[in-house]
Amino acid sequence: MTSVSDILRTMDYGPSPESPAPVNQWLSAHGMRFGHFIGGQFVAPAAGEYFGVFNPATEERLALVAQGGAHDVDQAVAAARQALPAWAALGGHQRARHLYAIARHLQKHARFLAVLESMDNGKTLRESRDVDLPLAVRHFYHHAGWAQLLASEFPAHEAVGVCGQIVPWNFPLLMLAWKLAPALAAGCTVVLKPAELTPLTAIAFAQLCVGVGLPAGVVNIVTGDGDTGAHLVRHPEVHKIAFTGSTEVGRMIRRASADSDKKLSLELGGKSPFIVFDDADIDAAVEGVVDSIWFNQGQVCCAGSRILVQESIAERFGAKLRARMQRLRVGDPLDKSSDMGAIVDGVQLQRIGQMVAAGRAEGLACWQGALEPPACGHFFPPTFLENVPAAHPLAQEEIFGPVVVSMGFRTLDEAVALANNSRYGLAASVWSENVNVCLTVAAELLAGVVWINGANLFDAAAGFGGYRESGFGREGGREGMHEYLVPKWLRTASALEEPESARLHPSAHPEPTAALAAQPIDRSAKFYIGGQHTRADSGYSFGVRSHGGALLGHAGLGSRKDVRNAVEAAHKASGWAKTSGHARAQVLYCFAENLAARADCLVAHLRAMDAISEAAATRQFEQVLERVFHYAAIADKNDGSAHATLTAHVTLAMNEPFGVVGLRSPAQSALLSALSLTLPLLAVGNRVVLIPPAHTALMFADLSQVLDTSDVPDGALNIVFGDSDDLAEVLALHDDVAALWYFGPAAGATRMRAASAGNLKSVWAQSRHTDWTAPEQAQGGEYLRHACQVKNIWIPYGE
C-alpha cells in the first residue's frame, strides 16, 4: 500500500475520472441522431444523409449528424436573411441582453459542455473545463458590452449582413464563441458550419439558443463536410465569410469568394517561434513549452512548435525539457489527472507519426515521453526533436500535433532572423528577464500576437490573428468588431465604372498629330522608382490623351520587371517605417508646401484630363492640399491601445505598417483619389508602389518632381504607368508585397482577389463609387485601419 510519505516524495497521483453519464443520457434522449438547426428548429437534411461522429479516445460512435448539401445551406441562408432586418433593428441594448443570456446559460451548463467537448474532440477535461468554457463565456459577456455600446463606439457603421462562419475541430465551442459573439453584437445573422469531426457542442449550443429565446433565424447551424462549407462560401446572399482552419483551405476560400464583394477574414496555420534567451527563467520557460505545444495535444494553430534557444543554455534547457516531458500523462481525456488526451482522428494521428518517422530516418535526435499502448483510441506521445536545421520540413511545416523542434542561436539578431524564417506569422513567445530584450524582439517579429514570458494567452478583449500566410483579419477586441461592420454610406454606393478615356491605348508607332507637333518640346513621362526617374524596361510607350482624345504626350509602358524594380526599391526604404510619426508628419507637410508651389501646373493637368473648368480644378486641388494636411496631422496620432484583459498583463495593441503595399488608384478625381489612398499608407509607415490611371501619367510625372524636393525617402513612394489592372495583378502575385489596395471596376477586383490566393496577402478591393470630395467617405479611420495590421503584445504587469 502506498504511504502518504511516498506520495509526498514522488508527487504521484491516481486517476480522477469524470462520468460521461450526463452526455450519454443527452445523446440517447435524441436517439443519437441530429439534424441541422435552421430557423430556430432542428430539421432533417434534404438529402437524408448522415455521417458518424466518434470519440477519438475510444473510437466509439457518439452520434449520427446531418450531412448538409446545397439545399440545406440555401434554407439556412434564407432563414438568416429573413431574420436580419429585425435583428439589426432590435437595438444594441436588446442584443446585449440576448448575448448576456447566452453567457449565463453557458455558465449554467458548463460542466456538461466541457464533458461533451472532451468526448467529441479528445482534449482533456481540464482544458475544456478550465480554458475553453470560461473563454467562450467571456466572449459572450465581452461582446454583450460591444452590442450595448455599438451606436456610440461605431456611429458611422452598420452590420455587414448575413455571415457564413466555418470553425475548426481543435476548439469547437470556443471558436464558435469567437465568431458568433461579435457577429451577433454587430447586428448580423449567422449560418455556422462546425467541423465535420466535432459538431456536437455546436448542436448543444443551438439548443441553448432556443432556451434563451434567441429569435429564430439569427443563428443557424448546418453540419457537414468540406462540400457543405464550399456551398456556404459560394452562396451569393452571404455577405461575410469568417474561417479558421488550414492555410490550404484558406487559399481555396480566397479563390472561391474572389468574384464577390464578401468581406473575408482568415485565421490560418502557424509555426510559431518560442524564443529563450540565456537570462530567462529556464524552469518557467520549460513550463511555457508544456503550455504551448502539449496543450490540446499540440493541435493549436499558435502552438510554439519551434524552440529557439540561446546556445549557451541549450544543453541545460534541453535536459530540463526532456525530464519534464517524461512526467506528462497521456490518457483518458475524462481523467482529470491526464495532461494530454487523444488526437482528433486516425488520419491526423497517421500524419503526425509519418512526419516524426521521416525526421528520425534522417538522423534527427528524437525524444518522446512515456506512452502506455492504449487498447484503442488515437494517442501520440509528447515528442521533442533537438538541433533541427532551420530549413527542415519539421521546422517549416505545421505538424499540428504534440511535436516540438529546437534549434540554437547566438545573438538577438540571429534569433529574430530564425523566428521570421517562416511563411507563417500567427504568434510568438519571447522569454528573457530583460524587458528591453523582450520588447526589442517583439517589435521585430512578424507575428500577430507576441507573448512575453508566457504562452497561449487569450482574452475576448484582445485581438487575435496573423501576418503573412497565417491569414488576415482579427477576432476579439475592438479590431474584431470591425470585421462584422461596414460604413453606412457604402451600402447605397453605386458600382464603380471607369470612362473610356482612362483606358490604356498603347501604340508602337504613334501617328503624329498637329496638337503634338505644336508643342515646343516633346513630352515623355518616366516612372518614379527608388527616387529616380526611370524609363520602361520594355522600351515601349503609350499615348497620353486628353478627355477629348487629343494626344498630349507619351509615357513608358510598365511591365512585370518595372514592378519588380519598384518593389525592390520599396524594400530598401524600410527605414521609413522606423521613422517617428512626427518625422513622417514633417515630410508630408513639406510635400504639401511644395505641392502648393506647383498648383498652376497640376490644375492645368486636371482641366485637360477631365474637361472641367479652372474653378472646379482649383477646388479639387485645394481638397488635395487639405487631404495632405489631414494625414500629416494623423501621422503622429495613429495610436494603438492597451487592452483590458483578464490576466495580470498590459496587452498592447500596436498598429504596425504592412511594409510594401501595392496601390491601384481609380480614374475618378484622379489626383485627389490617388493621394487620398497613398497618404494614409505613407502616414503610418508603409512604402507604396502606386499604379495610377494610364491617362494621368503626365500629371503624376510632374507630381514625382514634387516628391524629389519634399524629403520623401527614396523608395517610399514609387510610381509605375501602364495597364492598371495588369500591373496591379503583378503586385497581387508578388510574394514580397505585403498588401494590395485595389480601387477599380468589379472585374478587376475579382482578378486581384484570385491572384492573391497563392500568398494570401491582405487585399482591400473597392469596386463601389466613392465621393472623393466627401471626408466621411474618402478619409479617416477606415483607411487607417486598412493601412495597418494590429500586433497584440502581452506583457506581464503587476503579477
The long-range contacts involving 13-21, CB below 8 angstroms and separated by at least 24 positions, are: 13/337, 14/337, 15/332, 15/335, 15/337, 16/335, 16/336, 16/337, 17/332, 17/334, 17/335, 17/336, 18/115, 18/118, 18/125, 18/334, 18/335, 18/336, 19/115, 19/334, 20/115, 20/119, 20/334
Q: Which residues pair with 367 in a beta bridge?
A: 384
How far is the C-alpha of 532 from the C-alpha of 112, rounded, in Å? 67
The long-range contacts involving 605-609, CB below 8 angstroms and separated by at least 24 positions, are: 605/671, 605/696, 605/698, 605/699, 605/702, 606/670, 606/671, 606/699, 608/546, 608/547, 608/552, 609/501, 609/546, 609/547, 609/670, 609/695, 609/696, 609/699
Q: Is the dihedral of CA 188, 193, 198, 201 positive or negative?
A: positive
Catalytic, 776? Answer no
**Beta-strand relationship, 449-452 and 427-431:** parallel
Helices (H), 310-404: 314-325, 346-361, 393-396
**Residue 715 vs residues 126, 571, 745: alpha-carbon distances, Å:** 53, 8, 28
How far is the C-alpha of 8 from the C-alpha of 560, rounded, in Å? 70
Residue 658 carries which DSSP code? -
The per-residue DSSP string of 573-597 comes to: TTHHHHS-HHHHHHHHHHHHHHHHH
User: What is the helix (H) or strand (E) element at residue 521, kind and residue range?
Assistant: none
The count of residues in the chain is 799
What per-residue string of b and e applies to 101-123 under the rule 16 or more CB within 10 Å gives b?
A: bbbebbeebbebbbbbbbbbbbb
Q: Which of 117, 127, 196, 267 is catalytic?
A: 267
| 3-state DSSP percent of the chain in helix, strand and coil, to 5 | 45, 20, 35
How far is the C-alpha of 68 from the C-alpha of 533, rounded, in Å? 58
Q: What angle do CA 303, 309, 313 make, to 5 degrees?
A: 140
| Catalytic residue IDs | 267
